[in-house]
A and B are shown apart, each in its own frame.
Chain A
Amino acid sequence: MVHVEGETPVPLLHARGLSYARNDESIFGPLDFMLHRGEVVLIEGDNGSGKTTLLKVLSGLLEPATGNILLDGEELTLARLSHQVALMGHLPGLKSDLSAIENLDFTIGVFGLRPGITPALALASVGLEGYEDVAIRQLSAGQKKRVALARLLLVPAALWLLDEPYANLDKEGIDLVNRLLDAHARRGGAALITSHGAYAFTTGAPRRLPLRSVA
């Protein structure tokens, strides 16, 4: 965890009274929680409890019904989205006609690049060395997921919002996600993840954020 001497650290993410409603029907909340740098938190909840919606609200894709989101102490709104947030949703967000490298180059153009890494390095660290020029169309669902993970490594975002990062991955891939999360937390990043299965993190059980169905 990154501490500033003599000060209480400002949480990377601070949700205050956050709730979301669709057509006046409450989906989740109100929720209050903090996420500090160096933390990985697992959002727990049944199907339909609003885990995906929560991540979309936190990313700024959806506007909360009540409450607000502070990112490093500054309010996050639709009009002021941040480079600090990266969302990995159910859809991989990859163009199937482009190669893995071309997709990653596009991501860098839009979101920027973390120092000390290149698209080829990122692909190698998710176990896709040699697949640089293969069209996404020809990759399996698990390999597409790995390309989406490589994208997370490239973008200069401190907060990762991962929706079902373990889906479609083999055992080795699950270990990979855990290793990436650990490394990200050690670098001073933080992550919120949703998952149905209980997965052991290498550094022990993660903090859990329970999400109950409102209905």
Chain B
Amino acid sequence: MRYGTTASACAALIRRDLVLTWRRRGDALNPAMFAMIVVVMFPLALGPEPNQLARIAAGILLVAILLAGMLALDNLFRSDHEDGTLEQLVLSPHPLSLLLASRIIVHWLTTALPLIVVAPLLAEMLHLPRSVLPVLLVALALATPLLSLLGAVCVALTVGMRRSGMLLALLVLPLYVPVLIFAAGACNAAQAGLPFLAPLLWLGAALALALVLAPMACAAALRISIT
């Protein structure tokens, strides 16, 4: 009798999610397209004045990427819930938090990583000073997994509801505010020539904490919402 180990279960889940993303690779580009359109709207509304755009570029980018990530969140557990796979995962004898952590990691890889990849292009469109770009990318690398983890807890709470899109946004956005403040704080400090390390370290600390706690909260929330 060969029972599945927790490692094999996580590996199977990661492999499945990567294959599923590849089968629907067109959809995987949607968040990046969304962020790009939002960024394009600002010069249209504010005028193409480079100095003015450069001053607000980091903030616009962060908000656009945060919103794009939030729109992609809804699908984190929804399809698994609708086809019954989530029920099977909850019933598996493995720690649910580890399975969910694997799911969240793949979700980050397939939705947030494309956003980080297009970020330099978006930054160029908004005349962000090139010296700030590395700080922005580090801030994004720390902030986006944090957003995915925080978001996953909220998605787990709302997965049992139909049409939970707006409710999810209302739950998630307040939690995103501190992340936005620290990420934008680092970029603005770098742009002003001030030390920018502290906000990045805060993001890193929050990420370490969320990596441990969010999957557990997510598992508890999911058990509540599927009953």
Contacts and interface: CB of A to CB of B under 8 A. Distances in A.
A110 interface: yes
Contact of B84 (A59, A89, A106, A114): A89
Contacts of A85: 91
B90 interface: yes
Interface in A65-94: 78, 80-83, 85, 87, 89-94
B20 A110 contact: no
Interface in B65-122: 79, 82-85, 87-94, 99
Contacts of B20: 95, 97-98
Interface residues of A, number: 35
A83 B227 contact: no
B9 to A, nearest CB: 4
B12 A105 contact: yes
B149 to A, nearest CB: 22
Contacts of A60: 91
A59 B3 CA distance: 17
A115 B3 CA distance: 10
A111 interface: yes
B189 to A, nearest CB: 45
B93 A81 contact: yes
Contacts, number: 94
Interface string B1-40: 1111000110111011001100110000000000000000
Contacts of A102: 16, 19
A81 B3 contact: no
Contacts of A92: 83-84
A102 B12 CA distance: 10
A111 B16 CA distance: 14
Nearest to B1: A156
B19 A109 contact: no
A61 interface: yes
A77 to B, nearest CB: 12
B91 A87 contact: yes
A93 B87 contact: yes
Contacts of A106: 12-13, 15-16
B130 interface: no
B85 A95 contact: yes
Interface string A43-73: 0000000000000000111110000000000
Most buried by B among A89, A106, A110, A112: A110
Which bucket holds chain B's interface residue count?
20 to 34
A87 to B, nearest CB: 6
A140 B85 CA distance: 18
Contacts of A95: 16, 20, 79, 83, 85
Contacts of B93: 80-83
Interface in B201-222: none
A96 interface: yes
Question: Which of B11, B82, B88, B89 has most A Cβ within 10 Å?
Answer: B88
Contacts of A113: 2, 4
Contact of B3 (A78, A105, A107, A112): A112
A93 B83 contact: yes
B133 interface: no
B84 A91 contact: yes
16 contacts: A59-B91, A78-B223, A80-B93, A81-B93, A85-B91, A89-B84, A95-B20, A95-B79, A98-B19, A102-B16, A108-B12, A109-B9, A109-B15, A110-B99, A111-B3, A112-B4
Interface of B: 1-4, 8-9, 11-13, 15-16, 19-20, 23-24, 79, 82-85, 87-94, 99, 223, 226-227
